[in-house]
Amino acid sequence: MTGVVRVRVPAKVNLALRVGGTDSQGFHELGTVFQAVSLGDEVRAETAPAGEFKLAFHGEGAAFLPVDDTNLAIRAAKLLVRRFDVPDAGVALTIRKRIPVAGGMAGGSADAAAVLVACNALWGLGLTREELDPMAAELGSDVPFLLRGGTSIGTGRGVDLAPVMTAGTYHWAFALSHTGLSTPSVFREFDRLCDPNPTDIPAPLLEGLRAGDPVAVGASLVNDLEAAAISLQPGLAHTLRLGLDAGALGAIVSGSGPTCAFLAGSDAHSIELAESLAVFSGVRAVRRAFGPVAGAQVLP
């Protein structure tokens, strides 16, 4: 067994998020287009004594994250042990956070995906991404995508994935909020405010991605949860308007929010957007990133 494994994992942004009705278990039918972006976390997994599972965080939001069995990262490691009966398994996990906590960019799911990849390598299990997929889906809706990265359509609960043909590189500025939003609370607000929608992905979005046309992609961004997120954090409406007034090709609440995503025409344009957004008191920080990028990857 390797003594230490490091894995880098991306955040995600939803270019489209359509929300339909609920199934028998209360989960909403989704139609979404995920894109993995270069803003990401790094997970370090180190061999620990048998039965010992430890977790520590550094960086973005570290003080607010649980380090017990309620955390998806610990649950991911223990799921591997149970599923494959790993002898004498133990791991010490250290996660350096850059993905915003409760920000709609799947930070917890990203860390779970990274832990699956890291512990697979640490314990010498030799599992393929396809073999990790069912465990990823068991852990959460965004976890399978963050194993793969790139750009994909997600259907059902978001775990049924199909790759999207994408040309070019997309440059983003992300405005982080002072406070997070829990995904369940945003879905409850959606149920209160909105009727279920068709979950079809807009054709102009897919055509823009195939053509590598950021103007077309920016014009086609859609998020059915946006109204619910704004209802819970009204200042998000001003953040979105500020970015559009500064020339963003498109603006959207990322996932369940409250992070706001702004599509730029170039890397230089993303710098200009970041500077414009940073002056608003409702924005805690701005991060720039590009996509699509690969999913969770073991580092040299």
Q: Would you please indicate which residues are annotated as catalytic (active-site) residues?
A: 12, 142
Q: Is 295 helix (H, G, I), strand (E, B) or coil?
A: coil
Angle formed at CA 139 by CA 135 and CA 161, multiple of 5 degrees: 70
The answer to whether the beta carbons of residues 99 and 12 sit under 8 Å apart is no
Supply 300's token pair: 């040299």
Q: How far apart are CA 136 and CA 86, in angstroms?
A: 18
Cβ-proximal residues to 265 (8 Å cutoff; 6+ apart), any chain: 171, 214, 215, 249
Tokens 């829990």 sit at which residue? 182
Q: How far apart are CA 198 and CA 3, in angstroms?
A: 49
Q: Are strands 260-264 and 250-253 parallel, antiparallel or unpaired?
A: antiparallel
| Kind plus residue range of the DSSP H or E element containing 241 | helix 235-245
Closest CA to 294 of 147, 149, 95, 159: 149
Closest CA to 16 of 226, 237, 173, 247: 226
Q: How far apart are CA 115 and CA 112, in angstroms?
A: 5
Q: What count of other Cβ atoms lies within 10 Å of the Cβ of residue 102?
A: 21
Q: How far apart are CA 228 and CA 256, in angstroms?
A: 8
